[in-house]
Amino acid sequence: MERFVLMNAGPTPPRPANQHMRRNPPIAGEAEAIQKACSGDALAFETLYAMHKRRVYSLCLRMLGNVAEAEDLTQEAFLQLYRKIGTFRGDSAFSTWLHRLAVNVVLMHLRRKGLPQVSLEETLEPSQDDGPRKDIGARDLTLAGSIDRVTLERAIENLPPGYRLVFVLHDVEGYEHNEIAEMLDCSIGNSKSQLHKARMKLRDLLHTGQRKEQIA
């Protein structure tokens, strides 16, 4: 991910040609970087890019499950940030605002591809295979336990696209079901149903992975 660079697709922040252009005093932190970036300071924007690129990439990768697309959309998210940073008003944390921007970039990309969902219009009631009915909007303590992070990430990547999208938005990014429903143009009940089924599928993937490791 260190190889990410802002590509020349539309207006991008100019990079200093040599070290003589870097005589500006160092930027103290995120707040100062935001202020200067809003005024067109390229070094300040680079600072924000360095601070947040990994987090944005991880978000894109979790939502898409595809490394190449995640890299491309990380670039697109920062291009959008460069164009829109002047609209940031500080009503929420900058990271929250940036992540919402990145989510929107990914969703627009998926819509252009036809937004491959796994039946977002499914009934709210889980099927018999999903186990007993429970509060499908509550935090899943089983999945919140001490699972190896790499194993969990791989399992998330193997979720069907629709399941993965809702799971990442709710359990990873912390969006509420009403927000997810608005993003995906579905009902709150559909969002809850998808989350429940995603958690059940994720459990199956994790258990299958554990059994394979035990056999090996």
Same domain, 105 and 137: no
Contact 163, 67 (CB under 8 A): no
> In the prediction, which pLDDT does 209 show?
63
Lowest mean pLDDT among 4-8, 78-82, 171-175, 189-193: 4-8
Q: Is the pLDDT of residue 26 over 90?
A: no
106 and 132 share a domain?
Answer: no
Look at the alpha carbons of 3, 93, 90, 63 in this order and tell me if their dihedral is positive or negative: positive
- In a domain? residue 134: yes
Q: How many folded domains does the chain comprise?
A: 2
- Last residue of some domain: 112, 138, 156? 112
Q: How far apart are CA 145 and CA 150, in angstroms?
A: 14
Q: What is the maximum span of the chain, computed from C-alpha positions, in angstroms?
A: 67
Give phi and psi for 199, each to the nearest 5: -65, -40
Say whether pLDDT at 8 is over 70.
no
Helices (H), the chain: 30-38, 42-64, 67-84, 94-112, 149-157, 161-167, 177-184, 188-215
Tell me how crowded residue 209 is: count the other CB atoms within 10 A of its CB: 17
Q: Are residues 134 and 108 in the same domain?
A: no
Residue 210: phi and psi, rounded to 5, are -65, -40
Lowest-pLDDT range of 22-31, 165-174, 183-192, 194-203: 22-31
pLDDT score, position 207 = 81
pLDDT value, residue 11: 43
Tell me whether residue 63 is in a domain: yes
CATH code (residue 43): 1.10.1740.10
Contact predicate 117/183, CB 8 Å: no
Chain segment 138-156, per-residue pLDDT in tens: 445 455 454 567 788 888 8
**What does the alpha-carbon distance between residue 115 and residue 198 come to, in Å, rounded to a whole number?**
17
**Mean pLDDT value across residues 32-53:** 92
Q: Which domain holds residue 93?
A: 19-112
Per the prediction, the chain carries an average pLDDT of 76
Please tell me the pTM assigned to this model. 0.66
Q: How far apart are CA 95 and CA 184, in angstroms?
A: 22
Q: Is residue 118 part of a domain?
A: no
